[in-house]
Chains A and B, each alone.
Chain A
Amino acid sequence: MKSPDPFERQKKEYKKLVQQVKPKPTVLKNGIMAFLVGGAICAAGQLLTNYFKVQGLATQDAGLATSAVLVFLAAFFTGLGIYDEIAKYAGAGTIVPITGFANSMVAPAMEFRSEGMVFGVGARLFTIAGPVLVFGIVSAWLAGLVAYIISR
């Protein structure tokens, strides 16, 4: 049998104390910043898509070209050390769009370059993006399964 924790009461009281002292996250400010920056990135994406369409690309190809440009820009600004400075204020606004995905791959690639190409860059490239891919793909399967069952 597990012996009772002698500090149980102290721990409970301490938890309350920590909650009193701990600064609250600035939810409203973060929300507004995420909305503005995330919105700006998406608006830029829309402008790019429209531009590519005007240049004669089909809708799907215009979308692909837009992704490529946004991914390139995010990688570029990550390399310059600017992306994380924006993300500090924008939070989810810079994480959720495709630019965040690019950042999450370029950042570890830069960071682990010092451990070599294979066990550094190669092995660490997907440390952040890997879980996103895994759960993204699994949810897509599940959603597809549900859609398949409903449509029958």
Chain B
Amino acid sequence: MKKIGQQTVPFTNPPVIIAAACIAGPKEGKGPLKDSFDKVLEDIYYGEKTWEKAEQRIFQETMELALEKANLKTGDIDFMLAGDLTNQIIAANFTARSLAIPFIGLYGACSTMYEGLALGSMLIDGGFARYVLVGASSHYATAERQFRFPTEQGVQRAMSAQWTVTGSGAIVLGSEGQGTRITHATVGRVVDFGEGDASDMGAAMAPAAADTLLQHFRDTGRSPGDYDLIATGDLGKYGRQLVIKLTEQQAPALSDRYTDCGVLIFDESQDTHAGGSGCGCSAVVTCGHILDQINQGRIKRFLGVGTGALLSPCSCQQGESIPGIGHAVAMEAG
């Protein structure tokens, strides 16, 4: 068996990230990472009649762009692993309809990109696939209307609230080739410390992220110092602080190399309150900024933890707390 420790899989033949692509929305395109996106949308309708159609189009174009960069055709890809935040993951399903690649739909809330990378790497290292296409997307308006209020509703958002990123990221994994490699995946368990505030998702997900991080270090025998950068998916400003507090005894070195994609994607002047969130948050930051940093040689080893809040509007209204999950993927410069 390849698994080590409780939850980690080290890859014997680490899958290669052959190509990555990301498309981001207009607000994200005004943020500090604007130069790392392959394309920035002018408006969130993207020429479509509905936001759902816009998200599907963004998703599909991102996937096609990744294939184009990898110089591959849809027929070359063995499996497509993708998901998003809309009900019944229609953005991913409809993209899969167009691309017609054997498709495994995923729902890991905002952790989907990392869930896909972990599974895709296992498919490749297990010898079941040569090429796997992984993708995830979110859209501010499709997520808002589903999980919260109509977008034009005059509400005052909490200071701890985050802003759902409009954007989509895609990665082509291959069994061989040049590029950044995925060396380990630590599959997270669902952790719930009883937080139920839907406008403070960072607090709901932080225990799961901390749990996966500590488990990754235990399973691999590594410590935070072995990584040049560690990033969680979308905990935001306050969720990041909570992870630091939760891990300070067992992994004190974490704080000086640890950031969060939700913190990176917007700056203070954009008034998002606690930062970005959504599948698209970790997807566009990883596929853009972070892979750029690795490819430019600024980072050698990276540990990313895709974080997801596993709630539904129904579970929240019924007074349930919000369970969280975190999937960790370690990358190394090729």
Contact = CB atoms under 8 A, between A and B. Distances in A.
A91 B182 CA distance: 47
A4 to B, nearest CB: 14
Contacts of A26: 159
Interface string A50-94: 000000000000000000000000000011010110111011001
Nearest to B154: A87
Interface stretch (A15-23, A130-138, A143-151): A15-23
Given A7-B193, A11-B194, A26-B159, A18 B152 contact: no
Nearest to B200: A22
B242 A18 contact: yes
A112 B150 CA distance: 9
- Report the contact-size class of chain A (Cβ under 8 Å from the partner): 35 or more
A21 B239 CA distance: 9
A10 B193 CA distance: 7
Interface of A: 7, 10-11, 14-15, 17-18, 21-26, 30, 78-79, 81, 83-84, 86-88, 90-91, 94-95, 100, 103-104, 106-108, 110-112, 114, 127-128
16 contacts: A7-B192, A7-B193, A18-B200, A21-B241, A22-B159, A22-B200, A25-B158, A25-B159, A78-B152, A84-B154, A88-B157, A103-B153, A107-B149, A107-B151, A108-B150, A128-B149
Given A17-B245, A23-B159, 11 more contacts: A14-B207, A21-B203, A25-B159, A78-B154, A87-B155, A88-B156, A90-B154, A100-B154, A107-B152, A112-B145, A114-B51
